[in-house]
Amino acid sequence: MTFIAVRCPHCQSDQSVKRGKTARGTQRYLCQNTLCTKGSFLLDYCNRGCLPEVKHTIIDMSLNASGVRDTARSLHICPNTVLRELKKKEAVLESVNTAVLRTLNPAEVAWDIERAGEAEMDEMWSFVGNKGNPRWLYAIDHRTGKVLAYVFGRRKDDVFLQLKALLEPFGLTRYYTDHWGAYTRHLDPDMHSPGKQNTQKIERKHLTLRTRIKRLVRKTICFSKSIQMHDLVIGLFVNRYAFGRAV
């Protein structure tokens, strides 16, 4: 007689029971660990898109210069699976760096005032569908190089005002930007320094984005077909690598 250990692929628990069969006739199991996020699983999946490690690889590849179809071809899955898996992440994204915000309690600001109060701001051009439909990425950067917040939208004043509202809790005292009119119109002249001297850090961040996200690479035919996917993939990148969140 042979025994096969049945282990949940999501939480590695061996507390599982049989729970019916799939339409194909494969045995389905139910994980009885109350802390398990998933619950039901199969021992061998015929559909590669259901495998937990393939799902992780989809996200990793999309943040490392692979487009939706590149990912689908190399993992031998359907492009729709890639899109579906990416869309599941939409709910957990944040557009403000809450980790930095939490450390900014009044006691710490006192000694950190040199660095904490200053920010670099810039826009980055990209588009969805065609070049007549541009979409600007508003990122903001600390003197320490940390991204504080980001907003997506047309290059219009109301989009900048959204970013300004997100930055309110950081208590910034100085803004380094380029010469775009919206900055001059909405920032206090005493706190605003336009020019190229102090925006190198944020420009370098834009280069990283353009290298690591396929839809942002210039002079190629790669682009986003929907606003949702454009904002989602860039948001995912910023959340994981700039905010340090486990998404």
State how far the Cα of 115 lies from the Cα of 202, in Å rounded to an integer.
15
The DSSP bridge partners found for residue 139 are 122, 150
Residue 94 CB-half CA count within 13 A: 19
Among 29, 36, 141, 149, binds Zn ion (CB under 5 A): 36
29 near Zn ion, rule: CB under 5 A: no
What strands, in cross-sheet order, belong to the sheet with 27-31? 16-21, 27-31, 40-42
Q: How many CB atoms lie within 10 A of CB 186?
A: 13
- What residue number has its CB nearest to Zn ion? 36
Nearer to Zn ion, 10 or 212 (CB): 10
Closest distance to Zn ion from the beta carbon of 7 (Å): 9
Q: CB under 5 A: which stretch of 36-44, 74-82, 84-92, 167-175 binds Zn ion?
A: 36-44
Nearer to Zn ion, 8 or 119 (CB): 8
DSSP symbols for 64-106: TT--HHHHHHHHTS-HHHHHHHHHTTGGG--SB-HHHHHH--H
Nearer to Zn ion, 13 or 95 (CB): 13
8 near Zn ion, rule: CB under 5 A: yes
Residue with tokens 């903001």: 140
Nearer to Zn ion, 10 or 210 (CB): 10
Closest by Cα among 147, 121, 151 to 243: 147
Q: Which helix (H) or strand (E) covers residue 180, if one does?
A: none
Q: CB under 5 A: which stretch of 33-41, 76-84, 184-192, 235-243 binds Zn ion?
A: 33-41
Among 6, 15, 30, 33, binds Zn ion (CB under 5 A): 33
Closest distance to Zn ion from the beta carbon of 12 (Å): 7
Q: CB under 5 A: which stretch of 10-18, 57-65, 145-153, 233-241 binds Zn ion?
A: 10-18
Closest distance to Zn ion from the beta carbon of 5 (Å): 14
7 near Zn ion, rule: CB under 5 A: no
Q: Of residues 57-116, which lie at the interface with Zn ion (CB under 5 A)?
A: none
State how far the Cα of 62 lies from the Cα of 60, in Å rounded to an integer.
6
Chain contacts with Zn ion (rule: CB under 5 A): 8, 10-11, 13, 31, 33, 36
